[in-house]
Amino acid sequence: MREWQAQDQPTKRQRVTFELVLRQLRKRDFAVLSTVDEAGNPHSAGVNYGVSRPGHPFALYVMTRKHLKKARNIALNPRVSIVIPATRRLLWFLPPPTIQLRGHAEILDWTDAEGTEVFRRFWMGRRILKAYNESHHRGETRICFLKITPDADIATYMVGYSIWEVRKHMESASARVVIPPEYCSPSQTSLAPGHAVASR
């Protein structure tokens, strides 16, 4: 088993790259965001997200309101995890590939320039911005952005693999990707590049 893993690791490093993961993230805008409350109880919610612009440190942005559970939890504990299902258009009925990130979230004002620009770059984001602008005009004052700065390593499953490959060796489709330094902000944890590992 160890010999098989050692032989398989170089292939994973070449196949599942950060650039591939970033392309998959930019193609989508739905994720499941998980937070923890003051008692240590987990909470998960479906969210729409946007990815930071090219040339900016890698981060995800979510628009919400400060009184909602996920924002209240983040105010107490900024550690979060987020899972993005990369549903295949023609094989939508099969379990999708997933991208799994952990990181640090912060609450920003709803007028944050970077968050606003990120949401202007995709269709659902523009709809969300419009809805919250209308809500603000009606007196809503609790609108905010959540900025999620991921840890330096990202776990993936089935990303870059066909369903036929996964049928033969299910665990072979698990991989770990390290964010290159040029995409990192100073707050992101430095992690030396390593081999692909089981992540599920």
Instruction: Give per-residue pLDDT as tens, 64-75.
Output: 999 999 999 999
For the CA atoms of 178, 32, 69, 154, what is the dihedral angle to 10 degrees?
-10
**Cβ atoms 40, 77 nearer than 8 A:** no
**7, pLDDT greater than 50:** no
Q: What letter does residue 95 receive in the DSSP assignment?
A: P
Token digits of residue 193: 């590049």
**Distance from CA of residue 77 to its chain's centroid?**
18
Q: Which domains does the chain have, with CATH numbers?
A: 2-183 (2.30.110.10)
Alpha helices in 100-173 (DSSP H): 113-120, 123-137, 163-168
Instruction: Give per-residue pLDDT as tens, 121-149.
Output: 999 999 999 999 999 999 999 999 999 99
Instruction: Give per-residue pLDDT as tens, 82-127.
Output: 999 998 777 667 778 999 999 999 999 999 999 999 999 999 999 9
